[in-house]
Structure 1
Amino acid sequence: MNIPNNSPEDLGNNLAAAERLARAIKVAGGEFSLILACCDSIAKQQQILKLLQELSSVAIQEMRLMPTDETLYTTITNTIGISQPQALMVHGLESVVAIPQMLISTNLMRDEFRKNLHFPIVLWVNNEVLSQLVWLAPDLKNWAATTIRFDISNSQLIENQAVSA
């Protein structure tokens, strides 16, 4: 597990990203929306969740996937039952053993999300899961707005852009 770096730059970036996340959840109110939140550090993710609770006026239900879960849609519907939360935050995707199969089935079932789930879903991913999502579930990934990242400082972002250029 990574220890979060709490430099002033990182705190500012995380606050701005948390504000974007809170705004995306609020704007989606009552409609299905897929929001990807990317963070490699579980400790930093917990900090962000606390901050999000302070920033958001929306009641956010949370659920954690188990390593043995096989389908995202069924797991969500079994967890929430007939209720429709204002927003749902899904953790633990990185722990799923059959992650490729889950992502492929989620991509195939994507229309069911929009038809039956009338609330925003925040799917927490790490960089590894995000890259698998891009390759294995491209249609689902395209439904998501820009991924909200919590692990990249301005200096890292500049460095990553220089490497990829």
Structure 2
Amino acid sequence: MKSLSNSPDVLTDSTVAAQRLARAMMLAGGDFSLILACCNSVKRQQQILNLLHKSCLTKIQEVTLLPTDETLYTTIKTAIGTAQPEALIVKGLESVEAINQLILSANIMRDEFRKDFHFPLVLWVNDEIIHKLVWLAPDLKNWTANTIRFE
């Protein structure tokens, strides 16, 4: 993987985390898997995504949520239609105005994700969104493995 920063520590941490994310997406291979990727900087997030698109063997599709989106499941379903991408990354959660409602509805619809989506679903989150998931959607949050953190 190519570097994301000049700092050796940041390079090592980011490279290892990016490799973990790429491996998690690859290992899901045709099965639903919910992965949280945490990065508090939108700029850094985009750098990592660019790196993943260039270096990851899994073809990644992206969906960016709008501030007006109210449901995660319906937004994704509308964006992908009948397609089943190899992996899907959802970004923009931090910009959703009704984030609590979106998280609550995702928790209610969690079984539909597993039933209809046969690919790894990566949610790009920040620390605030993770806290909201823990409090508002504990069942959905429990489906995730350890959060992959990008410092």
Q: What's the counterpart of residue 79 of structure 1? A: 79
Number of residue pairs aligned between Structure 1 and Structure 2: 148
Rounded to whole Å, the distance in 2 between the matches of 1:146 and 1:5 is: 24
- Consecutive unaligned residues in structure 2, runs of 5 or more: none
Partner of 1:96: 96
Report the equivalent of 1:126. 126
- The answer for the alignment partner of 1:111 in structure 2 is 111
Structure 2 residue matching 1:101: 3-state secondary structure: helix
Query: Is contact 1:17-1:149 (8 Å) kept?
Result: yes
- In structure 1, distance between residues paired with 2:130 and 2:84: 26
Displacement, 1:17?
0.1
Task: Give the partner amino acid of 1:112.
Answer: E
Q: What CA distance in whole angstroms lies between the structure 1 residues aligned with 2:113 and 2:83? A: 14
Q: Deviations over 1:111-158 (max 9, x none)?
A: 00000110000000011111111110011011011000001xxxxxxx
Normalising by structure 2, report the TM-score.
0.95
Q: What residue in structure 2 maps to residue 48 of structure 1?
A: 48
Distance in 2 (alpha carbons) for counterparts of 1:5 and 1:58: 24
Using the size of structure 1 for normalisation, the TM-score is 0.87
Structure 2: distance between partners of 1:54 and 1:17: 15
Contact 1:19–1:55, Cα closer than 8 Å, also in 2: no
| Mapped partners of 2:145, 2:77: distance in 1 | 23
| RMSD between aligned residues | 1.2
CA distance in 2 between partners of 1:93 and 1:6 (Å)? 28
Deviation at 1:47, TM superposition (A): 1.4
2:147: which partner in 1?
147
Aligned residue for 2:23, secondary structure, equals: helix
- Displacement of 1:56 in angstroms is 1.1
CA separation of 1:111 and 1:5: change in aligned 2, threshold 3 A = same
Larger Rg: 1
Runs of 4+ aligned residues of structure 1 deviating over 2 Å after TM superposition are none
CA distance in 2, matches of 1:148, 1:138: 18
Deviation at 1:54, TM superposition (A): 3.0
The CA distance in 2 between the partners of 1:14 and 1:22, in whole Å, is: 12
